[in-house]
Amino acid sequence: MDAVAGPSGVKITPKQFYKRKKTLTSEEIAESLTCSDTENMGEYDDNEIDDIGDPEIPDIGSSSEEEEDEDTVVLVLDDAEIIEAPHPPAKRKRKRRIIWKQITPSIPVFDSEEQSEDEVLLTPLQYFKKFLSDDFLKDIVEQCNLYALQQNPNKPLSLTCSEFEQWLGCSFFMSVSKIPNTRLHWSSYTMSDAVSSVMSRNRWEEIKSHLHLVNNNTIDKTDKLCKVRMLVDHLKQEFRKVPMIEHLSIDEQIVPFKGVSSMKQYNPKKPSKWGYKIFVLADDKGYVYDFRPYTGKIDPVDKNDVPDLGPSANAVLHLAEVIPYHKNHKLYFDNWFNSLPLVEYLATKGIWCCGTVQSRRLPGLSFQSDKQLASKGRGSYDEWVTTNEEGVTTNAIKWYDNKGVCLTSTFATSQPLQTCVRYDRKRKEQVEVPVPSIVKMYNEHMGGVDLQDQLLAYYRMSFRSRKYYLRLVFHLFDMAVVNSWLVYRRSATSLGIPDKKQHALCDFKLKLAYSLTNSGKDLRKKRGRPSTDVVKVNFEKKKKCGRATKPIPEDDVRKDGIGHFPAVSANRETCKLPGCKSKVRMHCLKCSVHLCCDQKKNCFLEFHQ
């Protein structure tokens, strides 16, 4: 390809010439072109020159010799004349390359910002400490010691955090063993080493009788939960830190109690009919995210944008405050809570609801009677839909099985129809009955609170006490254990551990109890008065007699319990424990004194106590 010189003597190609159309005006081009030359080149005006610079022409730096054709005409521009006039380069149309990308269906993620899976599986104690940390247990210990001094200043409790953890571990052991009387754990017939070797019976009962959570001098007597408010608020705050899953449910929970209390309720539909009532928000796996003990009155939510929909609906609104808005969560509850204004309000917050409902709470709607539905056959249903001014669509359906049941939902309908197996008394065989989708979803995801009740009932801390609030305290401790086990199960499943290799609740609670009673604890029995330091006293007596004795370390070094390891020396020396005259080779690496240890005596242990 021939190269030519431009007006300034610089050689340029036709592509460079057309690329520089924006820098060259029409007058400059006309001056450099003669009339004879324009016949070969063609007539160009300003608009045509602008059209030449099409974006499809590649940049100068990206052009290559392979892209240039042999017929390409090169311009030769001179100050006087044009030697050769080029034709405009022919534009080649490139075929558009079609690229297909597979679209993955979008799956809603719930609280992905807060969700973080454990990289390794933790121990039962570590899961438990997520809800009851060392700092919180320290606050409980302070209140117990303060309460003991308020009761009797001459008998301090002198409780430590380590001892309180041992008391908790013993209580968990007792809840699993199911011995009816707590004192039998120290009986010679049913003695449990896991309990009796850790703590004496009188000490365990003394700690239980002084278990307290609040200062009586600064108590708010208008609050019926003042005795347990500290534990309730702390656990609610810690339970909420676990990421929520899609399906949630709200239901009542009964803490078994038949003592004297103004908060005691009666619910004939629960396994434990008498006790404290708690409104619980849990997922379909049984994990509790929030709870609200019932004190006799359900106040509306103290927010301007939250309406007052009545006591039963207000209980749902209180618990729904912890549910993130517009995260596609689905909430289930029964007909005691459900109403049309409630589901419509929660739908405006992005919380979709489903639940049974009383037909009288659906104004302007009359379902077909049970007799009419029965005539159509078992499994028939009557479905209605309504849309409010805000655009929220609510489906209401009445399904007939043994009797009619009404449900409402803001996200589920009767379709697609599914089937369930029922026993037909007339035909005396199992038959398939059509089931609407809304009924199937309600049955699958509503039982989260009942599952939590079932897990709590297996190994409950059912200790008798005259203090009405201790039953709530024991229940909340058990709830923390069950939630710890459910978090462990979630972590183990995410790590690919099969269900058969995961700890059962009983095994998990026993391991937790063992860790509480042994981890970082001194297991030497401490009964009666603390003994005097015989080693130091006898050493001083021997020193006064004028006998040559090797000095022993100070008490804070000798009794610190760190780094005292036995070793064997080359020389035999007398055991340095006063009263022992054995010649031994074993000595302490830290104290640098010879001490004996055999089947008959253990001077090494006695020296360091």
The pLDDT value recorded for residue 61 is: 41
Mean per-residue pLDDT pooled into runs of 10, the chain (609 residues): 49 54 50 44 42 41 41 44 49 43 34 48 92 95 95 92 94 90 83 82 94 91 91 95 94 91 89 92 95 92 89 94 92 93 92 92 88 89 88 89 91 89 87 91 93 94 90 95 95 91 94 88 54 61 62 75 86 85 87 86 85
Distances in whole angstroms, Cα of residue 139 to Cα of each of 144, 378, 512:
9, 59, 21
Alpha-carbon gap, residue 404 to 414, rounded angstroms: 15
Full 3-state SS string of 363-381: CCCCCCCHHHHHHHCCCCE
> What one-letter code names the amino acid at 312?
S
Helix/strand/coil for 202: helix
Distances in whole angstroms, Cα of residue 65 to Cα of each of 1, 72, 511, 530:
9, 11, 77, 100
Length of the chain (residues): 609
Sign of CA dihedral 514, 515, 517, 519: positive
Check residue 593 and report its DSSP letter: -
Alpha-carbon gap, residue 508 to 135, rounded angstroms: 23
Task: Tell me the longest C-alpha to C-alpha distance in the chain.
Answer: 137
The pLDDT value recorded for residue 93 is: 52
Alpha-carbon gap, residue 277 to 381, rounded angstroms: 34
Q: What angle do CA 294, 300, 304 make, to 5 degrees?
A: 150
Contacts of 471 by beta carbon, 8 Å cutoff, 6+ apart: 255, 256, 257, 259, 275, 276, 465
Alpha-carbon gap, residue 454 to 177, rounded angstroms: 17
The pLDDT value recorded for residue 449 is: 94
